[in-house]
Structure 1
Amino acid sequence: MNIVGDSEHFKQPFDHDEDYVSRADIKRELVIYQELGKKLTELSKSQLSKLELDETLYDNLLKAKTIRINTEAHRRHMHYIGKLMRNVDIEQLQEELKNVLNQNRNESSKLNVAEKIKDQLLSEGDDAVQALIEQHPTLDRQKLRQLIRQANKELSKKPDEASKSANELVKYIKAETAE
């Protein structure tokens, strides 16, 4: 056998192995896991509970919130979270994360709509109440009027402070007009 002329001798393992994954590819994949883990640590506890995470990962995501950022301990813990993320279906988790973040946008938009309705009710009075009840017949006219009266009274006494009744009015409108 001629070693110099034998090209099979000089072939690398990845030349004929389809399952071979380079170290650079592995590192790129680990960075993706760590970045997703970082996004998860930025979520609130209620948002995390909406995701289908295994208990170990969930506990460590909550623990990461208690560790000071920009410390060696935080960096190591984020690496550990990245390691735990290897056992998770990334595509499914990203889809769930997208849904949770979208739900939060929907909640904030519903709150904004309820705030606008509250402002309209406080400024226009009974005409606005009648228009709102025509749009949403499930609303209780008496409760609306009572909350509006209390909110106007509280706001006339202390216009700079938030009114407890106005906040209750927003919560009531948001709950009853949600579809």
Structure 2
Amino acid sequence: MDDDRKSKTQIKNEVKALQKVGEQLVKLSSDQLDRIDLPEALSAAVKDARQITRHEARRRQMQYIGKLMRKIDPAPILKSLRNIRQGDYQKAIAIKKIETWRDELKEGNVEIIEEIINSCPNAERQRLNQLARNTRNSRETAKASNASKALFRYLKEIYDS
């Protein structure tokens, strides 16, 4: 057998890998899917797969997506999927950091304001102090929730800019 030829097992494994990429595409949100440059037929097949709820029909649709994937170069799609996952991970880290800042400010740790100002130079010290004070002073659950949300929104705004 020539080295250029692939065995049936290799071909089947490649097909399964492409189907898994197709499954990842189906799991993406509409916004994320729109950011990936897909051929029209593949894009339509992925959108159709989202609508299918019956197991066997969905399995066949996933096989069809795998078939379409074999006709194109999957490298750009894989790169886009990696970028999306990396971006989601970075967002999660940012949200966690913002939540930590908010919790520290709620507990009265004013030293954290220096860290926030060093990390986000466009932060206004006076506004941070005011929002933190409002969060600490509000006793009612609705007021406390609103004050905490306002503080979080401001922290997110300055972190993103």
TM-score clears 0.5: yes
Structure number with greater Rg is 1
Instruction: Give 1:157's aligned residue.
Output: 140
Q: Which moved more, 1:102-111 or 1:17-26?
A: 17-26
Q: Secondary structure at the residue paired with 1:139? A: coil
- Specify every segment of 5 or more residues in structure 1 that has no aligned partner in the other structure, as ranges: 1-14
Specify whether residues 162 and 59 from structure 1 end up closer, same or farther in structure 2 by C-alpha distance, changes over 3 A only.
farther
**C-alpha RMSD over aligned residues:** 2.9
Instruction: Tell me which residue corresponds to 1:10.
Output: none
Q: Distance in 1 between matches of 2:111 and 2:83?
A: 38
| 8 A Cα contact 2:107 2:136, kept in partner | no
Query: C-alpha displacement at 1:139, in angstroms?
Result: 0.7
Residue 149 of structure 2: aligned partner: 167
Q: Counterpart of 1:78 in structure 2: which amino acid?
A: M
**Residue of structure 1 in register with 2:41 after alignment:** 56
Pair 1:175–1:62, CA change in 2 (3 A): farther
Work out the CA distance in 1 between the residues paired with 2:140 and 2:56: 53
Aligned twin of 1:43: 28
User: Matched residues, percent identical?
Assistant: 30
Query: Of residues 51, 69, 74 in structure 2, which corresponds to 1:66?
Result: 51
Do the aligned partners of residues 19 and 127 (structure 1) sit closer, same or farther apart at CA in structure 2, a change above 3 Å counting? closer
- 5+ residue gaps in structure 2? none
Higher relative contact order (CA 8 A, sep 6+): 2
- Which residue number in structure 2 is paired with residue 82 of structure 1? 66
Question: Does residue 1:132 correspond to 2:113, yes or no?
Answer: no
Structure 1 residues 135 and 81, CA, compared in 2 at 3 Å: closer, same or farther?
closer
Report deviation, 1:158. 1.5
Which of 100, 105, 120 does residue 121 from structure 1 map onto? 105
Q: Which moved more, 1:17-26 or 1:115-124?
A: 17-26
